[in-house]
Structure 1
């Protein structure tokens, strides 16, 4: 019996995680009433650490986390490289009101006066097997360079700064850390080169300008250490830089569109990094759906993305979105709705069967809507004697803003088919039509089928052209 108990204890002991890293620290000038901060860390599976840290009466804190792999801890937005079983002690600078931005992932650091006068650097105390703040040093060097040059860097200056980053890294002898630090240096180098192209869009760049593409990769394990906003910036910047190397123009829609079909196809074909696929590819699809809706081209990408996505919740979300958006797309039957007008009378879509219906979804608080609405009203006035078309404005102002909406109707003399979907009894419209952003234009033909669920804005000639084509259809 005693033997069994000992064996069981041995099993328990040997199955317990053995890689508990600890980071102890304090903030200069802080106490128990001082604001705390968040600490985050990411791996290939996504965010593995997210914790709100409070300071004790001496301004001290402690972080314990179990991991079998080196991770970058974003401690109050400072990147700290932490290896399994590390026991680190750091000092954060005194927090002041001012902030400055470091690097392309919008890492913020506080402008402060720490124990070491004249600096705003986080400090590492005691001995360590590696320079755990090396990534932060690289980021800071690039931030200071960008601040000094104010976006007016020459290619020679950018190249020198890149070499300076390599020099900073060369002091370290830790292979794992250096791999991460070199990736961050490459990433900042790419950002600076891309910024240069944007500022000098008419210049023709040589092939050597793009040689960095031979070094940096979205499949680099260090990619997964980035915060979400940094990962998004990297994917966007990398794809833009790659396309520029293939003679694309910096002004091309494919380079500026966060939901670019080209970018999504590239990720599917060339990227195996789980976090990039699970997070960034999925976000690109969601963005595309919210701006342009579902279409057969995107559907092919969604099918492939579902197959490649390894995160169960992300996979399910894609499957649900595909079903949801494909039901309200071009050539599908427009969902019925019943929404009150200014007098409280319920108006149904089916009331206009046999007519072309042009819908403007807007709100009084939406500035882009205010710019576009006059064009819609101008078209409504132009076709007011045409019995085969109705121009319907649907406000998403909430119930508390209904009076503001009614006053706006009177001010603009809007007395046609103007509906208010902000009340609870009409909010089903937004859900049925996947209204995630406004202004949103929807065109429905005489048979009740959707012409375009994300139609061009009323200010664009194509909007009226679609209406004319629908009117001529038998």
Structure 2
């Protein structure tokens, strides 16, 4: 080989061998003082649309876990077990999290190259606590201040937070600068919106117009100006996701007597409003719609949500969250219309064991609720109206399932005696671990389920009582009453 060829080959090998290999993990260590060794811990990505954790583990006899955690890009992960912690992590920067309990409150400390990131977030949280503490003696805390004073104080708080990042500028990455800037922006908007809510609920004078945050109309454009790396901030990601419904709701024609969310077609309209908005960059649009579609299973009947999901995965097949969204929906496959309703048995108010299957031959309207759930209780007046409209129907069973904790059974009994709800009252008695929650993929209440006379699911996420004619007509159809006749009975 001549000298020139050898030098060229040497240069090529040198160039490729010296290229930095992309990091795809970081080494994570968790050390817990006085641990419960039976406790399971989990790690999942905050940007995941699937509730399943990516890692589940227990501590060893020394209260320690150590291992490689795979990540391709900087992101926020959720660490949970007997405590909960949100952590910003980045590939190649190892992180040790140490936890000790003080008055049943976890106290965290950090070591390793990646320690600077959670330290900054903890410092920001400490400033937020101090800000609220400063005004704790006011009736509504900091939200009792007049707007000009509140905004001035909020701006000063924001400057203090930015100073933390500035002090660490020599060790943090450019990506993190984007993330923390977006995080603080989203925090500011959330706190200002809270001020608006408090003002309109408690401080507004009679006849006064609702308070609106100055510049509110520009928030979406300001958010979309950030690089998509900002989505590694959970606060910012939540803000971006909320813009879908917030902007879409403004364009809906809503009847005063029916909440917008009770009309299934409204959810499709909101999706279409966002999908057809050419002012939203594609990368953000994919994330916005992905988050929206993944959450639809909480708000819409699964078959209707399924149609929107199919449109999304077909329209954005290369979006990285498509697999997770399909995983979310696959869990709902057994709950689609026409499937046999999963059976359950709980103790009734009369002390008898009652199963769903024992009610076969009737239309069954199931209300999953709890005595501590305000939105559940707020539906009860509409529920009574619905039952009164169908008072002569003997082929309907109104089935209530409480997911209160076992120790709250007397509270449940007292509540029922005071409110006279009627129907068949069952006590699940195991809180969020009550079996119906897993059977029917319940992640929030109230939840309504409609079962036909053959014991099959008609809707695993049925309309609320407050939807009025919508739920009334559906029940009548299931009873076999023609809609014209049903309407004449109103």
TM-score tier, shorter chain, comes to 0.5 to 0.7
Q: Identify, as 1 or 2, the structure richer in helix.
A: 2
User: Offset of 1:277 from its aligned partner?
Assistant: 5.8
The aligned counterpart of 2:73 is 69
Say if 2:224 is the partner of 1:213. no
Cα 1:95–1:245 shift into 2, 3 Å: farther
> Residues 162-173 of structure 1 correspond to what in structure 2 (within 5 A)?
162-173=158-169
User: Offset of 1:38 from its aligned partner?
Assistant: 3.4
Cα 1:178–1:51 shift into 2, 3 Å: farther
> Residues 50-449 of structure 1 correspond to what in structure 2 (within 5 A)?
50-54=55-59, 56-57=61-62, 59-75=63-79, 77-92=84-99, 94-99=100-105, 110=106, 112=107, 122-125=108-111, 133-149=119-135, 150-152=141-143, 154-173=150-169, 174=172, 175-201=174-200, 202-205=209-212, 207-217=214-224, 220-224=228-232, 226=234, 233-235=238-240, 237-239=242-244, 260-261=267-268, 263-265=270-272, 268-269=275-276, 270=280, 272=283, 276=287, 280-290=291-301, 301-307=308-314, 308=316, 310=319, 311-312=322-323, 314-315=325-326, 318=329, 325=336, 360-361=365-366, 374-375=384-385, 378-381=388-391, 384=392, 391-393=395-397, 395=399, 439-440=448-449
Q: CA RMSD in A?
A: 6.1
> Residues 442-457 of structure 1 correspond to what in structure 2 (within 5 A)?
454=462, 457=465
TM-score using structure 2 length = 0.55
User: Offset of 1:68 from its aligned partner?
Assistant: 4.2
SS in 2 for 1:272: helix
Larger of the two Rg values belongs to structure? 1
Say if 2:27 is the partner of 1:22. yes
The aligned counterpart of 1:104 is none
Q: Tell me, yes or no, if the aligned pair for 2:43 and 2:77 is still in contact at 8 Å.
A: yes
SS in 2 for 1:215: helix
SS in 1 for 2:300: helix
Cα 1:294–1:156 shift into 2, 3 Å: farther
User: Offset of 1:286 from its aligned partner?
Assistant: 0.9
User: Offset of 1:95 from its aligned partner?
Assistant: 0.9
Cα 1:241–1:185 shift into 2, 3 Å: farther
The aligned counterpart of 2:9 is none
